[in-house]
Amino acid sequence: MKELADDVVDATDRYEAAAAVTALHTLAALKDSPEAEEDRAELVKTYKSRMVPSGSPGNDVYNRLKKAPKHGICPLCAQRTVETLDHQMPKAHFPLLAITPSNLIPACSSCNWIKSSAFPRAASDQTLHPYFDNVTGQQWLYARVIESESAPPALSYFVQTPADWDPVLSNRVRLHFRTFALAELYASHAGQEISGLRFFLSTLPDQALASYLDRMANSIASSQDTGGLNHWRAVMYQALARNSWFIQGGYRSF
């Protein structure tokens, strides 16, 4: 076990160095290592039996990682609540990283299931890593209003990265957006929130609608604590404020 412990420390160092420079795809040498099947099984068992169960030796670390995100919100989808830990590099293929804290990402059950055992094979093939990637400084998430006279107003979310971004980062943001089906998730929650706005908006003077929606967008976007520039609610209010059909009465179309 001492030899395995040394291998885990070495693998962790290599993982963190690679993650810091968007190079997790270069860790092919760690895949399905160590060679002995019983050693790989033991490493996975260490996570399952010595970190996950309540009262186990590593459960305090497991719980601290789960509780790390603000308000308990999954950092992968920025919507649902954290329920488990996801392995950025899956333990089924990279057992040496099964208990590496920086490889354990707090996640909702849906995101954990969606990601499954996928792992990157190229730089652009990496979903965003909450510990190593910060894409909050500039807006890249947008939405457009779907106008209809016979159905409730709806939103269509899409990614549009800044022109000066590195192409690899732009591709990774788009991959993350597709992988976790964020367009569908955000559109669903936005539709529900728009429905709830109907009565309140009807109490405002027509000339005040755009101003109210714009203030809401800016309020949510102004702080990471309330969501930030790329939070689906900030983008929702931004799109509604800029849509003349909606503010001129489209919100009543249901």
pLDDT at 118: 86
Structural domain of 86: 2-119
Nearest to 142 by CA among 242, 222, 216: 242
Continuous segment of H or E residues that includes residue 104:
strand 104-107
Rounded to two decimals, what is the model's pTM?
Answer: 0.93
Could you tell me the mean pLDDT of each successive run of 10 residues in the chain, 254 residues long? 84 97 94 93 94 94 95 95 96 96 97 91 94 95 92 94 96 97 97 92 91 95 86 97 93 78
Nearest to 25 by CA among 128, 149, 120, 145: 120
Task: Verify that 26 and 110 share a domain, yes or no.
Answer: yes
Cis peptide bond N-terminal to 34, omega within 30? yes
pLDDT of residue 2: 63
Instruction: Convert the pLDDT of each residue in 117-143 to its tens digit.
Output: 889 999 999 999 999 999 999 999 999
Residues 17 and 115 in one domain: yes
Give the pLDDT of residue 210: 93
Tell me, yes or no, whether 134 lies in a domain: no
Task: Indicate if 72 and 32 belong to the same structural domain.
Answer: yes
Residue 78 within any structural domain of the chain: yes
Q: How far apart are CA 244 and CA 218, in angstroms?
A: 18
Q: Which amino acid is at 127?
A: T
> Which residues sit opposite 104 in a β-bridge?
87
Q: What is residue 254's predicted lDDT score, i.e. its pLDDT?
A: 66
Q: Is 142 helix (H, G, I), strand (E, B) or coil?
A: strand
Radius of gyration of the chain (CA): 22
> Largest Cα–Cα distance of the chain, in whole Å?
72
- Whether residues 184 and 234 fall in one domain: yes
